[in-house]
Structure 1
Amino acid sequence: MFDKLKNLFMDKQDQETDDKYILVPESEINENLKRDIVNLEEVGEAYCKSLQHKYRSKIEREDKQNLKIWVCRDIDGDQLPNLSSEQCLEREYRSQIAINFDGFTDEEDAYVHYIQLWYYFGGYFKGTGTLYDLSKNHLEADIEEKLEELLNQ
């Protein structure tokens, strides 16, 4: 009985996460999509800057210093120094909103919370992308939700 309830809960959780993203087949990964990804990352960067300023003092009252919210980019897990959204159509490119503060971890790629924006999985023969759906979701509200979780930890 417990397993059935667990599976029901997990299916609902997976479905909620999937609703935030658009699955993009390789045949649709083109310059038009690149423009959308660049726009999404620019919107994300603006929200990061605004929310970092808004939440900094609230987070510091919780003894969590140097709140940092940013758009983090990597290719196959490597955070390259000059990586920008211009490389978003390269396989294994990933961008996400990352939230962190001093003392959480020493690992470079571990964050307290993150929201994936775009990920292009290359695969062996075909690639697939997942893109945060701005038309159905509100990125700023999703970031604030993660910040509120951080405040309540």
Structure 2
Amino acid sequence: MDKNYCMINKLNKLKPAVDKRALILIAGSIWICSGIMLLSFSYYWLRESKNISYWLIAGIAFILALLIHHFGFLKIVDKNLRRLLPAEEKKCIFSFMDWKSYLNVVVMAFLGIFVRHSSIPKIYLSVIYAAIGMALILSSVRYIRIFLCHLKKED
């Protein structure tokens, strides 16, 4: 029994554990970086396209982004925050998302690779990528706001 306890204790010391504020900051940062990546794909595709009304595409993407943000991503952010905020002890650095979300990310990444290499015209993909990218950035604001509130509480 003591031998097993010592082994578990040693393994726990190796776990990269951080407090909830760090997890919230990591989550928000990853959402921002993912949004910027998608927006850069969209920008690159739009830049290559000819005879396109950029303002029309940006407007459509922005309206879609607001809908995705409000009806989709905010629910995910709130679910993650409800899980992270009550934590008092340090948690593994990778626990800013639950395991189901990691599976979702893998599926979305493969789907993104598939559609980027498909015959779907890039102009259509640029609208979708811009909308999802903007929605990710908009939704990350909640993570950052909560993080900043927790920093103020500490002062």
Give TM-score, length-normalised by structure 1: 0.31
Larger radius of gyration: 2
Q: Which has the higher strand share?
A: 1
Higher relative contact order, chain-length normalized (CA < 8 Å, sep 6+): 2
The normalised TM-score by structure 2 is 0.30
- Choose between structure 1 and 2: higher helix proportion: 2
